[in-house]
Amino acid sequence: MANLRGLREAGTLVAIPVYLFVAAYLFMLVYGIVRALAEGPGMFPTTPLATGETPQLLTIWLILRTFSSGCTALTGVEAISNGVTVFKPPETRHARQTMVVMAVLMGVLLLGSIGLTQFFAITAGPEETILSAFARHIFGDGLLYLLIQMTTLLILVVAANTSFVDFPRVTSLIARDGFLARQFMNLGDRLVFSNGIIALAACVAVLIIVFGGDSHALIPLFAVGVFLAFTLSQSGMVVHWFRLGGTGWQWKALVNGLGAFTTALTFVIVAVSKFAEGAWIVAVLVPLLVFGFLKIKQHYEHIKPQLSLDGLTPPAVQLDLTQPVKPGAPRIIVPVSGIHRGSLKALKFAASISPQITGVYVEIDPSRTEAFLKEWAIWCPGIPLEVVDSSFRSILLPLLAFFDHSDRVADDGHAAVIVLPEFIPAAWWQNSLHNQTAWMIRLAVLYLRRKHRHGRVIIEVPFYLDA
């Protein structure tokens, strides 16, 4: 909910648990070192083997499983590289400094915790994590132990929130390239990618239900996906340096190549060692996702020429303003979001039944308005156009307010006829790839403006997309 609200204070809210966690754990490590110097090392309990049982050897397989579990603990640093633009100028330098600080802190906390738990011979119980057992050994069951537990809980909340910050940004980039529904590019009224946040919340809910709320069962799923993404990104950087060249590109390509090899090796180890524990889901899910992305891209590429204005000669819609308006001719409002074959078809239909036409364009992105006005002047000369400002990037409320304003200005006792251009995809699943604005406008007019239920007329002009 905080991410949907786009709170400016979100950075502060996230920073407080991080500082508390770092301060609490550094204090625990320092206090642990003091106790270690005073008490000396502990002894692990020995467990006698059962009859016929042989001790497990330190095999390569066991080492690889340990390696894969340890690599999972190091993920998360990549969130900085995804959010470089949110840093204060100079962004790159500040992001690099943050990365260094984060890496040093991670190394100190990880190595300090592992070293002290081994030194004190601390083992975790079936219902307790190793860090909880470590804190209990150092502080007992008092307030300091509870503080450690609370800061751990808060830092896990912050870690979970990282996805809600980065996932919507990543999906917006994928949607911009045409591999996801265009709705993921839309900014909400709080300047956040609200569709990505809602989609992620729905996916998280499904995972929690399917896995019964057991976060440990999700770790293999997470680890395989993360290291696959790392491998792809590092490999992409190698290709980037070979194409771009420049000063020292061989060294940069070597570094990224080494990173790609390391993460690919980790990916294989994690996938094999944790295959039965849930990693198989990624092996099935990733090809399905890629297939879905390609089908979405194929759909957008297929409809592009169908909507293109290529082959048409402007102007496409003209009105004979020299002829008097016939009595009873309705006032027509045509909401348009762009100039394409679908909107031109609706405007032509409107012109065929009445010369009293007004186009209305809701300005969500001011940077696109000037280009739209130029296109309108070329393709629809002489047809009045109203540009309605939308301060919060909403379409429906400004549009409904304009309908009411138009009726008040006309003062003829009749509500305007609304002509809606609407895409009709060839397949049912393709409906989700389009904004369905006409459908939302129709519902809003029918149910949110009930005072016009006897006078407002809606005409939908379908534009059928080929299969």
DSSP 8-class letter at 385: E
| 419 membership: H or E segment, kind and range | strand 417-424
pLDDT of 47 above 80 = no
Contact (CB, 8 A) for 41 and 229: no
pLDDT of 433 above 90 = no
In the chain, what percentage of residues exceed pLDDT 70? 90
Identify the band that residue 451 occupies on the pLDDT scale cut at 50, 70 and 90: low
pLDDT of 453 above 60 = no
pLDDT of 461 above 80 = yes
Identify the band that residue 201 occupies on the pLDDT scale cut at 50, 70 and 90: very high
Per-residue tokens: 396: 């429906």
pLDDT of 56 above 70 = no
Distance CA 323, CA 332 (A): 17
Q: What is the pLDDT of residue 21?
A: 92
pLDDT of 225 above 60 = yes
Question: Of 92-96, 157-161, 330-334, where does mean pLDDT reach its minimum?
Answer: 157-161
pLDDT of 28 above 90 = yes
Contact (CB, 8 A) for 386 and 351: no
State mean pLDDT over 324-337: 81
Contact (CB, 8 A) for 347 and 317: yes
pLDDT of 313 above 60 = yes
Phi and psi torsions of 140, nearest 5°: 75, -155
State mean pLDDT over 212-229: 80
* Per-residue exposure over 301-314, b if at least 16 CB sit within 10 Å of its own CB, e if not: eebeeebeeeeeee
Identify the sign of the CA torsion 212, 213, 215, 220: positive
Identify the band that residue 251 occupies on the pLDDT scale cut at 50, 70 and 90: very high
Nearest of 261, 371, 225, 273 to residue 65 by alpha carbon = 273
Give the Å distances, CA to CA, from 267 to 30, 59, 227, 262, 381. 35, 19, 5, 9, 59
Q: Can you give the length of the chain in residues? A: 467
What is the pTM for the complete model shown? 0.70
Identify the sign of the CA torsion 196, 198, 204, 206: negative
State mean pLDDT over 13-19: 83
State mean pLDDT over 346-354: 89
State mean pLDDT over 424-444: 79
Token pair 């045409």 is found at 178
Contact (CB, 8 A) for 319 and 334: no
Q: Which residues contact 58 (CB under 8 A, 6 or more apart)?
A: none
Q: What are 385's strand-pairing partners?
A: 359
Average pLDDT of the chain, as a whole number: 83
Distance CA 466, CA 126 (A): 59
pLDDT digits (tens, 9 = 90+) for 125-144: 778 888 899 999 999 889 99
Identify the band that residue 54 occupies on the pLDDT scale cut at 50, 70 and 90: low
Q: What is the pLDDT of residue 338?
A: 87
State mean pLDDT over 72-82: 70
pLDDT of 148 above 90 = yes
Distance CA 354, CA 332 (A): 7
Per-residue tokens: 104: 């040093």
State mean pLDDT over 250-276: 87
Domains of the chain with CATH codes? 2-45+56-297 (no CATH), 332-464 (3.40.50)
320 or 119, greater pLDDT = 119
pLDDT digits (tens, 9 = 90+) for 150-171: 999 998 888 888 788 888 888 9
| 403 membership: H or E segment, kind and range | helix 396-410
Task: Report which listed range, 88-92, 200-204, 414-418, is most confident.
Answer: 200-204
